[in-house]
Amino acid sequence: MTKTERSGKVQTVLGLIDKESLGVTLTHEHLLFDGEGVFAKPKAASEKELAYQKVSISNLSWLRYHPYENLDNVLFLSEQEAIDEAMLYKKAGGRTIVDVTLSEIGRDPQALARISRTTGLNIIMGSGYYTAPCHTPDMSVKTVEELTEEIVRDVTEGVGNTGVRSGLIGEIGCSWPIHDNEKKALRAAARAQQITGACLSVHPGRNTKAPFEVIEILGEAGADLSRVIMCHIDARLRNHDERVKLARTGCYLEYDLWGWEGHFPSYWTADDFMDLPNDTQRIYEVRQLIEEGYLKQILFSHDICAKSRRVCYGGWGLPHILNYAVPMMLQRGITREQIDTIMVENPKRLLCFV
């Protein structure tokens, strides 16, 4: 498929569609997920038993602040469970889900196509490479050109022999400090963006400097920064001036942790700590960005990649923004038109190929 054939269209796992068909869109989710690479076995002897238990009401309290220290919690292996959770989003008014799961963390193109057919939702699949701890052993010997070719093939021909094509590049995973192989993956993503016309989504390292480092690397590699999504803004930049500084580069700022509040696990951060806002704080931060003129650079999602955040395990789930956050936004000075811009118009503009 040529770049001209894709131009102005959105590529889902079931094929190209018109951008008007997208509707309300979550731009950063995981329907199926193999998080064995992000599983962090606890060090305390008393907690190692909890690490291998199945998720249940008996350990949900512990999982609230130890979500990645339980192996079962980071495994989304059931298609039916993914369908059930996605249908709750559809019932709330959702129409499209961007699944940014990559091959190292369980990307399953054919399963995503089946989920899309069953639910009637548009599903857009990512391509590229996640963080260094998840890379395959041959990553160090692959060249930027080889990585670029792999991403381009996912978009233009399909993943492997599935025929299911990716519709965006990412989420490209970065650590802090950034690994050499992650820099290589970013450069390949930038080149693939130029070749395919796809947008690009990046998971920056867990440090306030990380988004700016990513932007610098992508800019030097020739990426179109106006078609770059910087993920996890609500967990990386806790200062308004820094958010404005990043927005001035032209990239999209993705608030994609709605529902999760408190703090990151301490073992996950390069800083002494990393705070997470609650949803009310997120709303006021978004309102500030709107007032500064950055309405058309904001995206929303949940990044649900732990069972304890799914509805069937007592979590907030995929309908959370629509069912609970949107009513709060309306009460706190964000208009329906502005919400539609963020959740409909911005994804519609960004997810189209150029």
pLDDT tens track of the chain, all 354 residues?
A: 788 889 999 999 999 999 999 999 999 999 999 999 999 998 888 889 999 999 999 999 999 989 999 999 999 999 999 999 999 999 999 999 999 999 999 999 999 999 999 999 999 999 999 999 999 999 999 999 999 999 999 999 999 999 999 999 999 999 999 999 999 999 999 999 999 999 999 999 999 999 999 999 999 999 999 999 999 999 999 999 999 999 999 999 999 999 999 887 777 765 667 789 999 999 999 999 999 999 999 999 999 999 999 999 999 999 999 999 999 999 999 999 999 999 999 999 999 999
Whole-structure pTM value: 0.97
Classify residue 344 by its DSSP letter.
I
Fill in the amino acid letter for 305: C
Residue ranges with strand state E in the chain: 9-12, 15-18, 25-29, 33-34, 75-76, 96-99, 122-125, 169-173, 200-203, 228-230, 252-255, 262-263, 275-276, 298-300
CATH architecture assignment, domain 3-32+76-350? Alpha-Beta Barrel (3.20)
pLDDT at 235: 94
Q: What are 167-211's pLDDT values in tens digits? A: 999 999 999 999 999 999 999 999 999 999 999 999 999 999 999
Q: Produce one character per residue of 35-51: b if its CB has 16 or more CB atoms within 10 Å, e if not.
A: beebbbebeeeeeeebb
pLDDT at 345: 98
Could you report how far apart the first and last alpha carbons of the chain are, in Å? 14
197: closest CA among 345, 16, 344? 16
Omega within 30 of 0 (cis) for the link into 133: no
Contact 214, 174 (CB under 8 A): yes
301-to-7, 30, 109, 157, 253 alpha-carbon distances in Å: 25, 11, 21, 28, 11
Tell me how far apart the alpha carbons of residues 271 and 67 are, in angstroms, rounded to a whole number. Answer: 19
Residues β-bridged to residue 255? 300
User: What are the residue boundaries of the structural domains of the chain, listed by start?
Assistant: 3-32+76-350
Classify residue 71 by its DSSP letter.
T
Contact 9, 352 (CB under 8 A): yes
Strand-strand pairing, 275-276 and 298-300: unpaired
Contact 298, 28 (CB under 8 A): no
Q: What are 278-318's pLDDT values in tens digits? A: 999 999 999 999 999 999 999 999 999 999 999 999 999 99
Q: 239: helix, coil or strand?
A: coil
Contact 335, 322 (CB under 8 A): no
pLDDT at 129: 98
Q: Look up tokens 């998080």; give the residue.
A: 35
Structure tokens at 182: 């992650």
Phi, psi of 33 (to 5 degrees): -160, 130
Cβ neighbourhood burial of 242 (10 Å; 0-12, 13-18, 19+): middle
pLDDT at 269: 66
Q: 85: helix, coil or strand?
A: helix
